[in-house]
Amino acid sequence: MTKLLYGLFFGAAALFTSAVPAQEPNYDEAAAGTYVLPDPLTASDGSAVTTPDDWFAKRRPELLELFGREMYGVMPGVDRSRLAFETLRTDPVAFDGKATFKEMRVYFDAPNPAPKLDLLICIPNGAEKPVPAFLVLNFQGNHTTCSDPWISISDNTEAIHTRGVDGRERRGHKKDRYPFEMIVDRGYALATGFYEDIDPDFDDQRRNGVHPLFAPFERDVPEESRAATITAWAWGLSRALDGLETIPEIDASRVTVVGHSRLGKTTLWAGANDPRFAAVVSNDSGCGGAALTRRNFGETIESINRAFPHWFCPKYKTYVGRVGELPFDQHELIALIAPRPVYVASASEDLWADPTGEFLSAYNADPVYRLLGTEGIGEAAPDPPEADAPVGAVVRYHRRTGKHDLTEYDWAQYLDFADRYLQR
């Protein structure tokens, strides 16, 4: 394909073992190396994928299976007879009457009270119902996303304290990342839940959170390919969508899943596995998310597996030092979301996440989007755009000025994106 970029991975990574010093990160574009990207439109048997039927019947299932088996862990099924949803409280006059807050509890193993996910849902009162929605997991509890004292403090204090956060004193601490009022003013609902409600963010050998629920679905899955933590979070996002489907005021067929950083990795994997998500947003997701793995820039497959061994399945760690042997790269993860809209965003100062590598993934997913009859990335050039200058169409990208964060500027772009593709 003309849009595939070529090069050679620069230098061999050290063996993945705690006894070997970690490599210094490379931030020199000239040393990012050259490489050959796998062609998303060439099947593993070498045959060309030339029609949408070829993609959906053969190549897409093949890629989805590869990403599960070799990287994230195989996505488990769900026993829907054990799911339950309960509306705990409602505040119909949030933001001076503009919106209604709901607190919903998603039970993953009813009638057992845990594990569960508490969702904070904000629905615009003045918009025509049902409304489209954004779904986003948060890092420190629902009460940190908004300063409204009505919002319950997360009862998952063990997980919050594990991350060094005094939850009761952090109300509204991260409200700038979740502009509820801006979103409802545009006619959208916003739903958020604490990600560690689903699975704790530390290496617990898959003992806690939702992992025990996966056992019936993993009897035939090799231990090295069983669901890791990113897969658990992605599975939980789908269960949150199950919950939104029960709310009449929300149009669950028009839900955009948004994720920042490690949760941006999660949203891409969730969107690849669950076609009910109408659109997917990856914000500063970096290595293991939108950034190309084959580039030697910023965070690498070695460093991410050293720091966060629980995020990916054990099989992924075997590619440390042999990244060129990966049977896929992250542009193909984005392609798995096609033809649905996907937005990839970076930050100019977030070199660890490799903004150029994130753009190149979006750019090289374009052939699949074109095959499926969409505009793909539109007329975007093969070089990353200037800061604060979004490019693309159904596949869209921007590099915001600033640091690793989720900002009002980012949300403004995502709202415009949703206006274009999800408003009736």
Q: Show which residues are catalytic.
A: 261, 404
Q: What are phi and psi of 140, to 5 degrees?
A: -135, 15
Rounded-to-integer distance, Cα 34 and Cα 405, Å? 29
Find where tokens 């030339």 sit: 50
Q: Which amino acid is at 389?
A: A
**DSSP structure string for 175-222:** GGG--HHHHHHTT-EEEEEEHHHHS-SS--TT-STTGGGGGGG-TTS-
Rounded-to-integer distance, Cα 177 and Cα 189, Å? 15
DSSP code for 350: -
Rounded-to-integer distance, Cα 244 and Cα 273, Å? 18
Rounded-to-integer distance, Cα 280 and Cα 340, Å? 8
User: In terms of C-beta distances under 8 Å and separation of at least 24 residues, what long-range contacts does 79-85 make, across chains too?
Assistant: 79/213, 79/216, 80/242, 82/107, 82/108, 82/109, 82/110, 82/213, 83/107, 83/108, 83/110, 83/239, 83/242, 84/110, 84/111, 85/242, 85/243, 85/246
Q: What are phi and psi of 395, to 5 degrees?
A: -100, 120
Q: Tokens at residue 198, please? A: 């689903």
- β-pairing, 84-93 vs 99-107, is antiparallel
- Cβ neighbours of residue 314 closer than 8 Å, sequence gap 6 or more: 223, 224, 225
Alpha-carbon distances of 39 from 323, 366, 379, rounded to whole Å: 16, 11, 20
